[in-house]
Amino acid sequence: MELWHPSIKRLFTVPKPLHCRQSGKNWVYVKNGTFMISEEAIKKYGNVTCEYGPFARIDDNSENSWCSNEFLAGVVLEGYNIVGDGTTQALLPILTGHTDLELPEARRGFPGAKPVDGFPWIWKDFADAGYVTQWGEDAAGIGTFTYRMLGFKEQPVDHYYRHYQRLAEAKYYENTFDSASNPNRVWIL
């Protein structure tokens, strides 16, 4: 099925604007590439600690294109076994604890297929524990759970990169993309 087929295109919607709670001055900010906590926040909340640990699946093809793990400060899964053939089959067990055969049908064009919202995603457990969650991929048009599968009907995590990415990719291909010379990672946050 082609990417912009009418049965797929109707699933694409313009996301609602993100409105963060306005409770005064920001108490976190970035200065010269360094994450900072404001003096006001420290006075009000005491010793505030924040941790961010990016998670990256490194395979033979992508390992050479990444910077060193020391730079990323991420988690590299060494010695894990891919349970199926392809990215979806490799990530589903990590993110849900189940193989694609153990989960409800979600593939496009298959009888009874439904979006993947009901899968037991690990980020739901993190959100329930009070963590802020994030999911992003290389390209919106070939997303792991949106290309062959029906994708998400509802926003799956707190910070879902696909909304921005879809709009930015459209502008890029129209040659009208202008992110004020900021790298994509600045716009993600």
Q: What is the pLDDT of residue 119?
A: 98
pLDDT band at 172 (very low <50, low <70, confident <90, very high): low
Average pLDDT for 70-76: 59
What does the mean pLDDT of the chain come to? 76
- Rounded Cα distance, 114 and 152, in Å: 9
Q: What is the pLDDT of residue 154?
A: 93
Q: What is the pLDDT of residue 120?
A: 97
Tens of pLDDT, residues 81-136: 777 788 898 899 989 999 999 999 999 999 999 999 999 999 999 999 888 888 98
Q: Are 143 and 117 in contact (CB under 8 A)?
A: no
Average pLDDT for 176-182: 52
User: What residues have CB less than 8 Å from 117, skipping those under 6 apart?
Assistant: 152, 153, 154, 156
Average pLDDT for 137-145: 86
Q: Are 129 and 94 in contact (CB under 8 A)?
A: no
134-135 vs 159-160, strand pairing mode: parallel
Please state the domain extents for the chain.
Answer: 6-50+81-188, 55-80
User: How many CB atoms within 10 Å of residue 149?
Assistant: 23
pLDDT band at 34 (very low <50, low <70, confident <90, very high): confident
User: What residues have CB less than 8 Å from 50, skipping those under 6 apart?
Assistant: 28, 35, 37
pTM, rounded to two decimals: 0.57
Q: What is the pLDDT of residue 27?
A: 74
